[in-house]
């Protein structure tokens, strides 16, 4: 009997591909040439950094500009670009493959809903992804180069390099920075913070949405349900985060307090954008109020758009669950969004992804607390959520963690990056209908 190849299942390609990239990246980061000082980086340090780069997280256990050499920093850039490009293309192409694996009726519905997003030409999708990515990074690099060169008097070569490095990190939502304080020194600089924030937004919205917006931006009525959920959900969450930062941090002497009003507004906008996916920080995260940290955890957990470089359970998953709850509270038999009924399979998929995410964050937090004796619960939860959602924000405790705890974060970054894509695709591809149904039972709930 002919055995089936495991590569027939696309969801299996994603974890293996990223694991291979991480292992190769780890070996390269262990080369003596990658470290600024003599000798090579320890295995755990190289593994953590390579995983953080390939999974476009941005968490670091060492100071990036001083620990890694120029070669090491180039490796970080390349690994982040590979991770970002691979995530966006694999997630987008898997979405296309899912629509082709469905039954005829479901496939026709999926094509009606998403053919404008993905198209049927795989090569065309890859080309468009590459064009959008490199065009965005080039535009950001030009603005940053001019700012570094003309305003901060950087030598032209250094201005170009730092501009390109941070542009790649921004669009790919990686979050590594060539400054020990990330973007804190540029907290009031609109020409630095705004381009980087826009780059993070572009990378976190998702290519299917970008493609549709480019064609139908003047006709919101023609947008697919996915695009509507992503766009309006992103706007709602961004506004909420922005107001939360301004409200709770306005007078905080450790964050926004010492800044003028324009700088406070810019810092709140920048940190709001970076909170859900970007990984940069323009304020001292360790000095944030408890209320802000709690809201930030929620925003990181939600993340950005599907088929993007952002992590988390994704905006569409969060909003779908909100609509499910609303329909249940109203006693509606179906979940309906803008005259479109949401399939029960999709509802179960959203519930599965969200609950698995909660389980991973909870178990990771318990593991981190158990492996350390000095990390408070709120700081451990923040670090674990940042790792799982591949955001890269840190209150500063990551470098102080023991290696066993750092390995926990490595696992969370990897699972958080490939897990949602693999689980979501596997559920969709394994959906099947029985020709019979068992008798119904109603256990008590609540």
What's the per-residue H, E or C state across 181-215?
Answer: CCCHHHCCCHHHHHHHHHHHHHHHHCHHHHHHHHH
Helix (H) or strand (E) holding 26: helix 13-29
Q: Given this model, what pLDDT does residue 278 score?
A: 84
Note whether 388 and 357 are within 8 A (CB).
yes
Q: Given this model, what pLDDT does residue 114 score?
A: 41
Note whether 63 and 41 are within 8 A (CB).
no
Indicate whether 437 belongs to any domain.
no
Note whether 160 and 145 are within 8 A (CB).
yes
Indicate whether 55 belongs to any domain.
yes
Strands (E), 68-215: none
Rounded Cα distance, 57 and 22, in Å:
13
Tokens 């954008």 sit on residue: 273
The total of structural domains in the chain comes to 1
The DSSP symbol for 34 reads G
Indicate whether 443 belongs to any domain.
no
Which one, of 197, 397, 377, lies nearest residue 277 by Cα? 197
Task: Report residue 68: phi and psi, to 5°.
Answer: -95, 140
Query: What pLDDT, in 10s, does the model give residues 14-55?
Result: 777 788 889 999 999 999 999 999 999 999 999 999 999 999
Note whether 313 and 301 are within 8 A (CB).
yes
Indicate whether 424 belongs to any domain.
yes
Task: Enumerate the H helices of 250-289 as residue ranges.
Answer: 261-273
Strands (E), 241-369: 336-337, 340-341
Indicate whether 436 belongs to any domain.
no
Rounded Cα distance, 432 and 345, in Å:
10
Rounded Cα distance, 386 and 258, in Å:
27
| β pairing state of 336-337 and 340-341 | antiparallel
In the predicted model, residues of the chain with pLDDT beneath 50 are 1-3, 5-7, 101-119
Rounded Cα distance, 398 and 219, in Å:
46
- Mapped onto helix, strand or coil, the DSSP state of residue 15 is helix
**Structural domain range at position 52:** 7-429
- Mapped onto helix, strand or coil, the DSSP state of residue 337 is strand
Strands (E), 288-388: 336-337, 340-341
Which one, of 38, 35, 45, lies nearest residue 71 by Cα? 35
Task: Report residue 136: phi and psi, to 5°.
Answer: -65, -45
Rounded Cα distance, 293 and 287, in Å:
10
Indicate whether 442 belongs to any domain.
no
Distances (CA, A) of 135 to 83, 117, 141, 202, 307: 17, 19, 10, 11, 18
Rounded Cα distance, 274 and 272, in Å:
6
Which residues on neighbouring strands pair with residue 35, listed in sequence order?
A: 68
pTM of the entire predicted model: 0.86
Indicate whether 137 belongs to any domain.
yes
Q: How many CB atoms neighbour CB 218 within 10 A?
A: 7
- Mapped onto helix, strand or coil, the DSSP state of residue 332 is coil
Indicate whether 255 belongs to any domain.
yes
The DSSP symbol for 340 reads E
Note whether 129 and 210 are within 8 A (CB).
no
């Amino acid at each position: 009997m002919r055995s089936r190849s495991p590569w027939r299942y696309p969801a299996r390609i994603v974890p293996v591909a990223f694991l291979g990239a991480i292992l190769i990246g780890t070996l390269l980061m262990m080369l003596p040439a990658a470290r600024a000082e003599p000798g090579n980086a320890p295995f755990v340090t190289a593994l953590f950094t390579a995983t953080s780069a390939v999974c476009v997280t941005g968490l670091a256990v060492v100071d990036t500009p001083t620990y890694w050499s120029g070669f090491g920093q180039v490796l970080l850039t390349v690994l982040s670009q590979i991770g970002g490009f691979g995530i966006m293309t694999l997630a987008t192409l898997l979405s296309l493959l899912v629509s082709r694996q469905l039954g005829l009726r479901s496939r026709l519905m999926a094509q009606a809903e998403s053919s404008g997003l993905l198209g049927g030409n795989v090569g065309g999708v890859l080309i468009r992804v590459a064009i959008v990515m490199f065009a965005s990074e080039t535009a950001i690099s030009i603005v940053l180069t001019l700012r570094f060169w003309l305003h901060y008097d950087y030598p032209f070569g250094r201005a170009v390099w730092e501009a390109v490095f941070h542009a790649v990190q921004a669009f790919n939502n990686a979050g590594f920075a060539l400054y020990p304080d990330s973007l804190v020194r540029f907290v009031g600089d609109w020409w630095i913070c705004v381009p980087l924030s826009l780059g993070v937004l572009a990378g976190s919205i998702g290519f299917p949405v970008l493609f549709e917006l480019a064609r139908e931006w003047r006709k919101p009525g023609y947008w697919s349900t996915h695009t509507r959920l992503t766009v309006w959900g992103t706007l709602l969450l961004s506004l909420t985060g922005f107001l939360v930062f301004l409200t709770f941090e306005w007078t905080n002497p450790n964050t926004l307090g010492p800044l003028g009003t324009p700088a406070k507004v810019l810092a709140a906008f920048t940190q709001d954008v970076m909170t859900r996916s970007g990984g940069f920080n323009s304020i001292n995260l360790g000095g944030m109020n408890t209320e802000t940290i709690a809201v930030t955890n929620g925003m990181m957990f939600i993340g950005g758009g599907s088929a993007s470089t952002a992590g988390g359970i994704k905006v569409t998953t969060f909003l779908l669950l909100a609509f499910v709850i609303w329909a249940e509270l109203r006693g509606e038999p179906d979940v309906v969004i803008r005259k479109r009924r949401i399939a029960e399979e999709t509802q179960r998929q959203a519930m599965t992804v969200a609950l698995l995410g909660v389980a991973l964050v909870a178990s990771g937090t318990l593991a981190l607390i158990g492996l350390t004796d000095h990390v408070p619960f709120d700081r451990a939860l923040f670090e674990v959520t940042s790792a799982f959602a591949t955001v890269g924000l840190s209150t500063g405790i990551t470098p102080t963690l023991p290696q066993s705890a750092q390995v926990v974060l490595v696992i969370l970054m990897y699972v958080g990056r490939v897990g949602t894509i693999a689980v979501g695709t596997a559920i969709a591809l394994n959906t099947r209908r029985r020709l019979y149904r068992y008798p119904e039972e109603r256990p008590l709930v609540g």
